[in-house]
Amino acid sequence: MSFTPKTVLVCTPHPDDAEIGAGGTIAKWAKEGAKVVLVVCTNGDKGSADPEMTSARLAAIREKEQRAAAKVLGVSEVVFLNHSDSELEDNREFRGDLVREIRRHKPDVVMTTDPHRRGFYQHRDHRITGQVTMDAVFPLSRDHLSFPEHKELGLEPHKTGYVYLWGSDNADTHIDISDTLSTKIEALKRHESQIAPRRNVDFEKFMRENAERAGKENGLKVAESFRVIEMRR
Ligand SMILES: [Zn+2]
């Protein structure tokens, strides 16, 4: 499938997940003229093994890293919801956050992590972000009686066209990222606090091999894979 959406809303559980799952596609679409908004659901304030690190300091570091990575990808706007890492809940507050951002930006494509991945263990924030994003797309942001308080913010109901789920066991869409794989890797490197403690892991090699594996399934050199759900006909 080769098309460029006009507006893409990316819901990432933590700073860095969107780069790993969809960074090549985000960079490709941004380059082709799409407006990309990145919604960062948690502040990643538990992601450190350093005993001297505090959550407040880590959240500030990760926000800075995320802004730098988003800039590399060509993202137009980053929204930080600032929920605590590993404490995300499927509650009215979080659902309202995502519905508000969907109504505000009116995306034709929403991207997030597949909440139904079974083949591998899953972080609870990933499961909950995927699930709540799907609920926010349909039916919550569509129905004017859901979160009626948004009307006071001047926001109207919105129907999203497609949801792209990364990290899926059942990927059905492979996007050629040969022009943007290096941008994806550059963006990932901005998450220094996450990469620095794993000096023994060759991130670049890991990302390249992943992209080659995804490409092989579909006759492409390097790709990212998604399960795509069409919401509207
Ligand atoms: Zn994560």
Three-state SS across 92-108? HHHHHHHHHHHHHHCCC
- Mean pLDDT of the 48-63 span: 96
At 23, give phi and psi (nearest 5°).
-60, -35
Q: For position 120, what pLDDT does the model report?
A: 79
- Best CATH choice for the domain 7-62+78-230 from the list 3.30.565.10, 3.40.50.10320, 3.40.640.10, 2.60.60.20: 3.40.50.10320
The rounded Å distance from CA 113 to ligand 1 centre is 9
How far away, in angstroms, is 206 Cα from ligand 1 center?
A: 17
Amino acid at 172: D
Residue 13 Cα to ligand 1 middle (Å): 5
- Tell me whether residue 65 is exposed, middle or buried, using C-beta atoms within 10 angstroms of its C-beta: 0 to 12, 13 to 18, 19 or more: buried
Output the CA 123–ligand 1 centroid distance in Å: 7
Helices (H), 113-180: 124-135
**Per-domain residue ranges of the chain:** 7-62+78-230
- 125 CA distance to ligand 1 centroid (A)? 7
- Kindly give the distance from the C-alpha atom of residue 157 to the centroid of ligand 1, in angstroms, as a whole number: 29
Dmax of the chain from CA atoms?
53
Q: Which amino acid is at 47?
A: G
Mean pLDDT of the chain: 96
Rounded to the nearest angstrom, the distance between the alpha carbon of 32 and the centre of ligand 1 is 27
Q: How many residues does the chain have?
A: 233
Residue 1 in this model has a pLDDT that exceeds 70: no
Ligand 1 center to 222 CA (angstroms): 23
Residue-wise pLDDT tens digits, 151-209: 999 999 999 999 999 999 999 999 999 999 999 999 999 999 999 888 888 889 999 99
Please say if the pLDDT value at position 79 is more than 60.
Answer: yes
Helix 92-105 to helix 124-135 angle (10° resolution) is: 60
Query: Per-residue pLDDT for 145 more than 90?
Result: yes
Structural tokens at position 16: 């860095």
Task: Collapse the DSSP code of 182 into the 3-class scheme (helix H, G, I; strand E, B; otherwise coil) and give the result.
Answer: helix
**In DSSP terms, which residues pair with 39 in a beta bridge?**
11, 79
Mean pLDDT along residues 139-160: 98
C-alpha 47 to ligand 1 mean position (Å): 9
The residue-averaged pLDDT of 111-131 equals: 94
Q: How much is the pLDDT for 200?
A: 83
Residue 53 has pLDDT above 90, yes or no: yes
Q: pLDDT tens digit string along 96-113?
A: 999 999 999 999 999 999
| Cα torsion 93, 8, 45, 129: sign | positive
Q: Please state, for a pLDDT cut of 90, what percent of the chain lies above it.
A: 91
- Residue 154 Cα to ligand 1 middle (Å): 32
Please give the average per-residue pLDDT across 121-133, as a whole number: 96
Q: Which of 179, 78, 89 is nearest to 125 (CA)?
A: 89
Q: For residue range 209-227, list pLDDT tens digits in order.
A: 999 999 997 899 999 999 9
Residue 4 has pLDDT above 90, yes or no: yes
In 73-222, the DSSP E strands lie at 77-83, 109-113, 162-166, 173-176
Distance between Cα 103 and ligand 1 center (Å): 25
Residue 118: what pLDDT?
A: 86
Cα of 22 from ligand 1 centre, angstroms: 13
The confidence score (pLDDT) of residue 198 equals 82
Which of these ranges, 16-25, 76-85, 118-127, has the smallest mean pLDDT? 118-127
